[in-house]
């Protein structure tokens, strides 16, 4: 790792000759910071761009808008590719059903709809549960807000299915508020309960109350801590906040996130706690007693506390405590024990760690129709590709592997809460939209039960595509896998490329998140025009388990960048593309990835798309939810860890007169996770430093109002993606309007 004294810190001396970009003043801001055992002067000439509401920032941003519009007007095929994206998404989407008795709750996006809606399907005659079914609309974000700025973030029916807790973010914010609906009438009977962003909901039987997580009221905390200080509370439906019972959270780290769940009978309460996004969690269990209304905070017993591992636990219908953990098993394991003795010493593995797969989820099928043969289903991934296995519930013995429709990704794994023989899941692969399937343990068969409500529209004949997984070797000898998708007619009989094509390499590499083989309109729109799309399973992700994640955390973060570079080099060396036709793309943590890539090796890529990125790693904890990510990246208030951050912080590695690639930053004014200031600052720095004229290799900023980091209306998604693909097509030499 580069020592702090060797860092090419951004400063006034790095200034290049003036370029035809919007003027951005360079202030002489230098902070003396403790790094390792010494003091280092860290320059920050564009700190003024942190204040989005300042007059000079607004003026600079407006000029960036004008510069983007000027260049976008010349991007051939932009409107055509947006049309293609709309066509590809015209099929709509479906989600796995959630059952409450005979009632079936599920989300669906109809063809042409801006948002998915929440639907209820139930018997027309309650006395005949197997008779005719009727469908009713419960929550429609577009009807609530025709502007398209409201999103449905989460929902949870009560145990009996007669009440529904659901969370909405309104006006383009990401501030979920929780409401309770009477399912029979559609009437809102409680809420909105504010400060419930990221809150789980655990209903008590009877529907009179539920456990959830709320932040403390703003008047109880400092202004800069309003997004933190969560508490687990018991909320009585219809009662004021003043009557809520605080169950857990006081005195703990202000960044802590909590999870809550209840056993089916309402007796056993499980509480999990994790500081920020740290890959470790503590678990407690409370016995609420038979028929308890939990009117007071229950005593909590430790299940696992203080271990460097992630764990969750819940009591099943059979009375056993099921513990899913990576404690002593980086690829995951599932253990059971008696809830009266829940500590690790009493755990017995049902599913031991495998050396060829990562445990991703599980569910129990124990309905009376299975007699004395209840089973356990488990979802795994091997190099990010899904597998599903069936096991004996008593001891975990492997019975069979479920034959999936192809090589792809499984999601869901939802069974009936009261028990049964069936489990619902989604399956997708690079050429197949997510479909809902049902597995029946009585027959061992996986059956397709529901697909998207429409079909993708077409602007020409169907073009076969092929996805293959390549292996590349990183700097230190580690094997990294890359999923590559291309038109079949661009490959030879052995699957090798016929000629270097415009190629986009996408990566993330953080927070244990895996990139899996799934259907993507973005990928298919690019590939349909003759481009190649590659996704790299970098260290920092979860493709190979928790060890793989930690191999790209903290001081090891540069390994992630080396993995991306190895993938890029291999794709060029093997003839998939050329340097002049190679682009990289990443968002959020992936924005940090490509920001680091372009400052580490400016000449290695022809184009970069950097979306909602982290880029100033010295000050990232001061904005948005940055404090919650210190476990992933390092704590800038710690001199040693600040050294890690400075070693790769993109904003601090901009050099004058470097041939920086064409770069498009995309940011969202409502983003409460990653502040757009990161992109503003690096954009200004690159525009000042690049040796390439704007006509040859532009550095551009695309900003969008009234939308946050994640969910958005379909039209906004297609507009954003169309800009991204048209920019990449322009820079990499692909006619994105082209169809076969």
- Give catalytic residue positions: 588, 709
Query: Exposed, middle or buried by CB within 10 Å (0-12, 13-18, 19+), for 594?
Result: buried
Say how far apart CA 422 and CA 254 lie, in whole Å. Answer: 41
Q: Which residues contact 215 (CB under 8 A, 6 or more apart)?
A: 195, 196, 197, 226, 227, 228, 229, 230, 231
Q: How far is CA 168 from the centre of its chain?
A: 18
- Main-chain phi, psi angles of 156, to 5 degrees: -155, 115
Q: Which of 358, 357, 355, 336 is nearest to 347 (CA)?
A: 336
Say how far apart CA 481 and CA 273 lie, in whole Å. Answer: 33
Integer CA distances (angstroms), 411 to 130, 387, 414, in order: 27, 11, 9
Say how far apart CA 517 and CA 485 lie, in whole Å. Answer: 10
User: Can you read off the two tokens belonging to residue 481?
Assistant: 């896998």
Say how far apart CA 269 and CA 249 lie, in whole Å. Answer: 15
Taking each helix axis as running N to C, give the angle between helix 521-528 and helix 714-732, from 0 to 180 degrees, rounded to the nearest 10.
40
Q: Which of 170, 175, 221, 223 is nearest to 198 (CA)?
A: 175
Q: Which of 150, 203, 160 is nearest to 183 (CA)?
A: 160
Query: How do the residues of the chain divide into helix, strand and coil, expressed in percent and rounded to 5?
Result: 25, 35, 45
Place of tokens 């954003």: 720
User: Can you read off the two tokens belonging to residue 184?
Assistant: 């029979």
Say how far apart CA 457 and CA 718 lie, in whole Å. Answer: 15
């Amino acid at each position: 790792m580069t020592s702090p004294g060797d860092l090419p810190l951004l400063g006034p001396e790095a200034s290049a000759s003036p370029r035809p970009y919007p003027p951005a003043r360079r202030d002489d801001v230098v902070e003396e910071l403790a790094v390792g055992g010494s003091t280092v002067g860290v320059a920050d000439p564009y700190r003024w761009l942190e204040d989005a509401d300042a007059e000079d920032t607004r003026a600079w941003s407006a000029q960036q808008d004008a510069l983007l519009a000027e260049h976008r007007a010349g991007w051939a095929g932009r409107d055509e590719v947006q049309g293609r994206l709309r066509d590809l998404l015209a099929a709509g989407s479906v989600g796995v059903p959630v059952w409450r008795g005979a009632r079936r709750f599920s989300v669906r996006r109809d063809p042409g709809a801006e948002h998915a809606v929440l639907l209820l399907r139930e018997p027309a005659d309650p006395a005949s549960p197997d008779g005719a079914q009727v469908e009713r609309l419960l929550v429609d974000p577009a009807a609530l807000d025709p502007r398209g700025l409201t999103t449905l973030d989460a929902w949870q029916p009560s145990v009996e299915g007669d009440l529904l807790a659901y969370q909405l973010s309104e006006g383009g914010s990401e501030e979920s508020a929780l409401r309770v609906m009477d399912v029979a009438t559609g009437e809102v009977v409680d809420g909105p309960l504010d400060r419930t962003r990221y809150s789980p909901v655990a209903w008590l039987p009877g529907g009179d109350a539920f456990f959830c997580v709320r932040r403390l009221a703003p008047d109880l905390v400092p202004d800069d801590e309003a997004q933190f200080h969560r508490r687990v509370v018991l909320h009585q439906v219809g009662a004021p906040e003043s009557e809520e019972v605080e169950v857990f959270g006081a005195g703990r780290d202000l960044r802590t996130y909590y999870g809550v769940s209840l056993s089916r009978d309402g007796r056993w309460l499980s509480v999990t706690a994790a500081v920020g996004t740290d890959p470790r969690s503590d678990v407690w269990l409370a016995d609420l007693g038979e028929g308890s209304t939990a009117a007071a905070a229950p005593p909590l017993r430790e299940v696992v506390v203080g271990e460097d591992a992630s764990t969750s636990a819940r009591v099943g219908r059979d009375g056993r405590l099921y513990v899913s953990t990576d404690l002593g098993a980086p690829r995951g394991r599932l253990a059971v024990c008696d809830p009266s003795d829940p500590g690790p010493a009493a755990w017995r593995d049902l599913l031991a760690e495998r050396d060829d797969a990562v445990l991703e989820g599980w569910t129990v099928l124990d309905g009376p129709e299975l007699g004395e043969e209840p089973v356990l289903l488990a979802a795994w991934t091997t190099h990010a590709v899904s597998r599903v296995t069936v096991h004996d519930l008593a001891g975990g013995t492997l019975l069979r592997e479920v034959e999936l429709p192809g090589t792809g990704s499984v999601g869901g794994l939802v069974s009936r809460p009261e028990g049964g023989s069936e489990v619902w899941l989604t399956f997708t692969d690079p050429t197949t939209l997510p479909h809902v399937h049902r597995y029946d343990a009585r027959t061992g068969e996986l059956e397709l039960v529901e697909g998207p409500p429409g079909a993708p529209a077409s602007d020409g004949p169907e073009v076969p595509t092929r996805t293959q997984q390549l292996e590349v070797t990183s700097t230190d000898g580690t094997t990294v896998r890359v999923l590559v998708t291309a038109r079949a007619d661009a490959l030879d009989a052995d699957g090798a490329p016929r000629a270097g094509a415009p190629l986009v390499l996408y990566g993330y590499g953080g927070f244990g998140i895996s990139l899996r083989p799934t259907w993507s309109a973005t990928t298919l729109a690019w590939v349909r025009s003759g481009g190649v799309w590659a996704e790299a399973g970098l260290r920092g992700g979860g493709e190979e388990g928790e060890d793989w994640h930690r191999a790209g955390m903290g001081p090891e973060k540069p390994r992630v960048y080396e993995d991306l570079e190895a993938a890029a080099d291999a794709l060029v060396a093997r003839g998939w593309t050329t340097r002049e036709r190679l682009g990289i793309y990443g968002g959020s943590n992936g924005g940090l990835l490509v920001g680091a890539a372009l400052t580490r090796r400016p000449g290695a890529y022809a184009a970069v798309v950097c979306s909602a990125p982290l880029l100033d790693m010295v000050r990232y904890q001061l904005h948005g939810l940055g404090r919650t990510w210190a476990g992933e990246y390092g704590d800038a208030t710690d001199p040693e860890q600040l050294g890690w951050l400075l070693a790769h912080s993109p904003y601090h590695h901009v050099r004058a007169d470097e041939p920086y690639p064409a770069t498009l930053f995309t940011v969202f004014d409502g983003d409460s996770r990653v502040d757009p200031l990161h992109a503003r600052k690096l954009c200004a720095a690159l525009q000042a430093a690049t040796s390439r004229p704007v006509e040859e290799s532009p550095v551009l900023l695309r900003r969008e109002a009234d939308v946050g980091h994640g969910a958005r209306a379909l039209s906004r998604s297609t507009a954003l993606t169309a800009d991204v693909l048209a920019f990449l097509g322009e820079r990499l030499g692909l006619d994105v309007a082209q169809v076969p």
